[in-house]
Amino acid sequence: MPQPDALSTSDADRDRIAQADAWIAQDPDPETRAELEQLIARVQAGDAAASADLADRFDQRLAFGTAGLRGEIAAGPNRMNRVLVSQAAAGLAAYLLERATDETPSAVIGYDGRRNSAVFARDTAEILAGAGVRAVLLPRLLPTPVLAFAVRHLGMSAGVMVTASHNPPNDNGYKVYLGGRDHGSQIVSPADAEIAAHIAGVAATTPVLDLPRGAYETADDSVVDTYVQRTALEAGHAPAAQPKVVYTAMHGVGWETAARVLADAGFDAPTLVDAQIAPDAAFPTVAFPNPEEPGAMDLSFARAREVDADLIVANDPDADRLAIAIPDPGVSEGYRRLTGNEVGLLLGWRAARQAAGASGDSGPAGTLACSIVSSPGLAEIADAYDLDFEATLTGFKWISRAPNLVFGFEEALGYLVNPGTVRDKDGISAAVAFLSLTAELRANGRTVADHLDEFVERFGCHLSGQISIRVTDLSRIGAVMARLRAEPPASVGGVRVERIEDLSHGFGSLAPSDVLRFVMQGGARIMVRPSGTEPKLKVYLDAAAHDGTVAERRAAASATLEALEGGMRELIA
């Protein structure tokens, strides 16, 4: 093995090693310091893979955007670690102080059960306090919706949630919410760019160990108690029948809070997937802790078969998403997970009935909203009930800002059912709402499957599909998007493309976004975009059919969907 010397290390490697040495000097975490020291030694020994790893960590910085920060836990500016989080906290503090008028700005900080979540939260609280921001830490690890609720309930200027939601086990992240006129919603432009500029200024001028730290407050349990009480009261209603339910927390933090909400709402305790009920940062029973991923709900299916459950309820690890599965004798598992669009449309129909009933003859009683990649069926519901409808860019940072909102959803298992309490997706309140719907159906001798048939009969069959391509080289995503723009197809899977709408420069009231929307013959639709939180290219497919029986509508929409999927797979291969 060659000895480390000036000849075995390139100029680029030596520059990166100097940056890494400076990083080590300010890193308060002995684990990531040691990891980076070992990587440097491998680079100096001529290890090409180590050199590429060092370049990936130091040639760019993990971007702070409207999703905050999210990435793998490791050393370096392109990873999640205590240095990056401390810089983010100092940048956020500078932003809040810059915006402040007479009052001292404030922030509440929450965290989930992922690796390093608690230490990232404490670092944030101490650095915010040291900068002169009033910092309040939630009393223990809690779901993201509780943090979103606390921003408004406590009257805070901002909120920070340390979580990577449903990302792989070694990831973590950092979501930022704003209070005041933003009503506890996640940040949007230009706040993201302004915070990012302050973070860059901190990183360029102040070593993390020189950032002042101060004393923070710890919230008492009253904030959790109030969230539980309001969610049970506002999201559900006293059940007229008790559905038999299986629940999984997917190794996350949802169960403690969900259990209290369900009990307060009058539901019997569900049967638990014991192996997944307690927080565990290793996520030992799932490859990806995301209910959408293949195999993630296998243990839930098995438990449901044991007890002959009417319903499976799954929260993702930070409990801001909800998955529902129902009995289906036509599949080998005996249960089928409903798509996010199916759940969203049923909850949207429920919300529309409630809103229309509350308004009487006074006109539109509110707005139904969903992201542009979610089912167009929600617009048909809004029209049928004389409600307003708004399609937003992807993410609840946009959905939550729809005016006069009564319900919002996105197809990625996110639902906002009680905007007066939480201005973000909330898997716990959505679970209570769906259980209330199921109980009402059961009391009338009907099932969720029956209700899906009733929806098709009333609004037509709206089927959705998705192609998700996970990549290791992010340039592949950009290349596909560029090719689709340069060589737009005239048809996809034999279905004619009527027009392609490029949202990269904005479209109507929508801000610019890297999205292509294909409007297809017969009302079908294709949306293509890079994921905002994971290294994925996502393709969303929608087909609808309004003629014939329920079975004929389903068959027609299914045939169109199958054709679109086959054609898109060929296009993006």
Positions of the chain with pLDDT under 50: 1-7
At 306, list the tokens.
Answer: 């044991």
Q: For residues 426 and 433, give the distance between their C-alpha atoms in angstroms, rounded to a whole number.
A: 11
Instruction: Show the tokens assigned to 42.
Output: 């491998």
Q: So what's the pLDDT on residue 557?
A: 97
192 bridge partner residues: none
Write out the DSSP string of 329-383. TTSTTSEEEPPHHHHHHHHHHHHHHHHHHHHTTSS---EEEEETTS-THHHHHHH
* N- to C-terminal Cα separation, the chain: 41
pLDDT recorded at residue 30 = 97
Q: Give yes or no for a contact between 322 and 427, defined as CB atoms under 8 angstroms apart.
A: yes
Would you tell me how many other CB atoms lie within 10 Å of the CB of residue 440? 17
Distance, CA of 90 to CA of 203 (rounded, Å): 9
Q: Residue count of the chain, please give it.
A: 573
Q: What pLDDT is stored for residue 81 in this prediction?
A: 98
Task: Write the burial class of residue 25 (CB in 10 Å: 0-12 exposed, 13-18 middle, 19+ buried).
Answer: exposed
How far out from the chain centre does Cα 242 lie?
A: 30
504 classed as catalytic: no
So what's the pLDDT on residue 6? Answer: 41
* Cα 177 to Cα 153: distance, rounded to the nearest angstrom: 13
Strand-by-strand arrangement of the 322-327 sheet: 271-272, 245-248, 311-315, 322-327, 335-337
Cross-strand bridge partners of residue 539: 467, 528
Task: Collect contacts of 291-297 with beta carbons under 8 A, ≥24 apart.
Answer: 291/166, 291/250, 291/316, 291/321, 291/323, 291/337, 291/413, 292/166, 292/323, 292/340, 292/412, 292/413, 296/250, 297/248, 297/323, 297/325, 297/337
CATH of domain 67-220: 3.40.120.10
Residues contacting residue 129 through CB under 8 Å, at least 6 positions apart: 135, 213, 214, 215, 216
- What is the model's pLDDT at position 141? 97
* 252's tokens: 């996350």
Strands 271-272 and 245-248: parallel
Neighbours of 67 (CB within 10 A): 20
Would you state the structure tokens that stand for residue 416, as one six-digit string?
């906002």
Q: How far apart are CA 63 and CA 77, in angstroms?
A: 9
Catalytic option among 51, 165, 185, 400: 165
Residue 262 amino acid letter? L
Write down the pLDDT at residue 149.
Answer: 98
> Could you state, in order of their start, the residue ranges of all structural domains in the chain?
1-59, 67-220, 241-451, 460-572
Answer whether 67-220 and 241-451 agree in fold. Answer: yes
Rounded distance between C-alpha atoms, residue 22 and residue 28, angstroms: 12
Query: Residue 5: its pLDDT value, please?
Result: 43
CATH code of the domain made up of 241-451: 3.40.120.10
Superfamily of domain 460-572: Alpha-D-phosphohexomutase, C-terminal domain (3.30.310.50)
Q: Which residues pair with 391 in a beta bridge?
A: 370
